[in-house]
Structure 1
Amino acid sequence: MTEPSPKVRTAIHVAELARKAGLPIPAKLLPVLEAAAAPWPVEWLLAPLPGDPIRVVELFAGPGGWSEGIATVLGVKVDAVGVDSSPDACATARKAGHRRICADITTLNPEHIALRHTCAVIISPPCPAFSPAGKLTGLEQHNIGILCEAITRAGDAAGLMPLYDVCCDDLYPDLADMDECPACAEHGYHEGTRPRSGETWDEIRAVAAEVTDPQIALMLEVIIWPLALQAAGAPIRWMAMEQSSNLPEDVLNDMTVEFYSCDWAYAQHTVLEAADYGLPSRRKRAYMIATRHYTTVRTATIRPLPPTSMAQALHWQPGERINTRGTRPIDPKTGRAKGGNTFSADGPSWCLTGKARTWKRESDGLRLTAAEAGLLVGFRRSYPWQGSRTSAFQQSADVVSPIMAAIVLSGVFGVLGEALVRDYHAQLYEMDDLLAPDGYDLVS
């Protein structure tokens, strides 16, 4: 963590005294604190008071999927700040009441002094490089090798492997009679943990920048931010990640290894299909949860919900079909349009992409609204999508569903996720029979 100047330290100390006394921060200190905190909130320079909600950083935060999952579905209060490079997505989130910094994540310092009290990080890098809807450059072995090398070097840069991982006492019971532990000497350890490699986070990012698609390199932020915060002494408790279900196992396994090597107690990933949890649109994604301590609740098993069709969610009559690609040539062998350009609304819709803005109902040519697109991925109809129609649909296509966010995070927040998800789902899609009754049999 970058050490503040004496002037900043004094300003923080005075501001903390004022806060503890229930007084506002003296106005003359604000310019000093604002300059030191930028781009983060001034109050994040100050230590939290007893009872304050935990501080959470959301990276690639978008229009608010994780934020809504925490606040609206789970009803958990956190002190969160999201970062995203899309002005429209940031505007949407702000309109919905979520804080956003509009910036390129890779230009930010994960050891910024304002982050020294951060307890959790949520990271959802863009997925086109790994998704079938993209160019699949993230699956090329050359790029996987570069990314995995950068992940390993990120662990070295954090320098957090604990001394007891080499079992000095067990391996060398006569250590007291030696000048130094042979294993520690071999690995270059000092007392407590191995030393940091000396590479900066920007230098590690430069390693990943050798990939052929810049979006692939953004996966590196998943390992950089939690380990950087840990190395800087922040009270980091857990991290959560969402990415395409096509994310290579080599990448997932290397991240898991680095978390365990840096003394994290738990790091696991799973693939979940949104339609299995009552969403009226398909969306298969990989999720990872890692926690620092065994005492942190890590996972909660939430049973699949009954399927919801697109027609049910939008209150359409049965039998409707959706045309996704306009008029297509007819295949003489099948009698159907080439390219598969229609699907039935009597089941979950296809996974939304930005091109869902051109979908139309075959019976009357009706196109989806931005509100309906958001509804299909788990947002309330009144969610304040900002920007053009094209931008709003792209936001819905990229976002993490609030329902899936709640499912993934219910364990780390230690809440009864299944009942809360069922109730939110029932109210969202007006299905009273899915409301969780009192005494609902939860699986945890």
Structure 2
Amino acid sequence: MPTVGAPDTLDLFAGPGGWSEGLRRHHSIADIGIEWDAAASRTRAAAGHVTVRADVAQIATAPMRGRIHRLIASPPCQAWSRAGKQLGLRDQPLVHQAIDDLARGRDSRAALLVGCEDPRSLLAAEPMRYIHDLRPEDVVMEEVPDALPLFRHYAEVLRGWGYSTWCGNLNAADFGVPQSRRRAILIASNKRTAQPPEPTHTEHGEEGNLFGEFRDRWVSMAEGLGWGATDRPAPTVTAGGGKTGGAEPFPTQARRALEGSRERGAWKGRSGAADTARITVLEAGVLQSFPGDYPWQGTQTKQYEQAGNAVPPLLAAHVAAAAFGLRQPQEQVASVL
């Protein structure tokens, strides 16, 4: 198996750099990401994030023992996806079996893979191999909401090893990202009590709750892009179109808008008339809270795919702060172009 250097923070299934950008920009932490997709790997490298292009399932963990303190993972979750032909749903028992086996130090992946309808399903168990072998102080996992049962399984195992755990769904809009995007999150630590980040925004805002805390309204799509719409709330981009599972790009309507078809996203301005929204790849990244000059690589389709599938950096920064005992991000609104 290939080996990789051992930094303090390791990011599995790192994609184009959502976690890495959130950590670097808001916490001055550099991680190393393992990613198989060529275009996503090039995007990470162009953005200055240390990247190993490799199959997470083929990386040897032994050289990293004792040197990884934080582990991040956003594994593909075909076995929990409602998209497509849903063949992976039949693989759930095999994924759970792989997690239990790897937690006991038994590598049954090859045998279980033979029975999988979707060969990608077992990738959801890979983080357990790393956790078992490396025993990091802190663990964070992120995926679509349907993956929550998977994360609860991880949490059960980790509690047995003395970790404090929390898992649940968080909405990126509650942390200043200009889209309503729900994500399943697992936080585990053997150094501190695991708890979710405190939201900075609500749908309608709060003038002050019982604890005297104020929260802004959700950031609209127009505001996130700096388009100057003044009436709130302008529609946010809702990831998944109400559905969850697997690779999760923007919803069908929004993705068509992003790719320049006649079906355009729109919101009502002060006049009440629908304004046409023409979304570029860079703007799509901004709606995910990436910087407006993020260097997306690959074909246009691959660039939109990366922007749509990435964890929003601003959400990642808030989750990382709670998970790793860091200060919450001072920037509370996604960047505009």
| Structure 1 length-normalised TM | 0.61
Offset from partner CA, 1:34-74 (integer Å, 9 cap, x none): xxx95423xx4xxxxxxxxx61111100111101111102x
Provide the C-alpha distance between the structure 2 equivalents of 1:309 and 1:128, rounded to a whole number of angstroms: 31
Shift of 1:117: 1.3
What secondary structure sits across from 2:239 in the alignment? coil
Shift of 1:308: 1.0
Provide the C-alpha distance between the structure 1 equivalents of 2:51 and 2:8, rounded to a whole number of angstroms: 14
In structure 2, the residue matched to 1:225 is 130
What secondary structure sits across from 2:48 in the alignment? coil
Shift of 1:118: 1.4
In structure 2, the residue matched to 1:28 is none
Task: Please tell me the root mean square deviation across aligned C-alpha atoms, in Å.
Answer: 2.8
| Structure 2 length-normalised TM | 0.79
Offset from partner CA, 1:68-96 (integer Å, 9 cap, x none): 111102x2334x21101111111111111
Q: How does 1:254-403 map to 2 (within 5 A)?
A: 254-261=153-160, 263-291=161-189, 293=190, 295-296=191-192, 298-299=194-195, 301-305=197-201, 306-316=217-227, 318=229, 346-351=234-239, 353=249, 356=255, 357-358=258-259, 360-361=264-265, 367-403=278-314
Shift of 1:207: 1.9
In structure 1, the residue matched to 2:56 is 105
- Contact kept? 2:284, 2:307, Cα under 8 Å: yes
* Structure 1: runs of 5+ lacking an equivalent: 1-36, 45-53, 158-198, 231-235, 321-343, 431-444
Structure number with higher helix proportion: 1
- Contact kept? 2:152, 2:167, Cα under 8 Å: no
Shift of 1:130: 2.9
In structure 2, the residue matched to 1:149 is 97
In structure 2, the residue matched to 1:125 is 75
Offset from partner CA, 1:293-314 (integer Å, 9 cap, x none): 2x33533542231211111222
Shift of 1:367: 3.3
Shift of 1:135: 4.2
In structure 2, the residue matched to 1:77 is 29
- Quickly say closer, same or farther: Cα 1:279–1:256, change in 2 above 3 A: same
Provide the C-alpha distance between the structure 2 equivalents of 1:156 and 1:106, rounded to a whole number of angstroms: 17
- Quickly say closer, same or farther: Cα 1:314–1:210, change in 2 above 3 A: same
Provide the C-alpha distance between the structure 1 equivalents of 2:141 and 2:182, rounded to a whole number of angstroms: 14
Moved over 6 A (4+): 362-365
State the number of aligned residues.
299
Pick 1 or 2: higher relative contact order, CA cutoff 8 A, min separation 6.
2
What secondary structure sits across from 1:93 in the alignment? helix
Offset from partner CA, 1:242-283 (integer Å, 9 cap, x none): 01101252x33322222122x232122110111222221221
Aligned amino acid, residue 224 of structure 1: R
Provide the C-alpha distance between the structure 1 equivalents of 2:325 and 2:294, rounded to a whole number of angstroms: 27
The answer on 1:420 being equivalent to 2:336 is no
Provide the C-alpha distance between the structure 2 equivalents of 1:38 and 1:208, rounded to a whole number of angstroms: 21
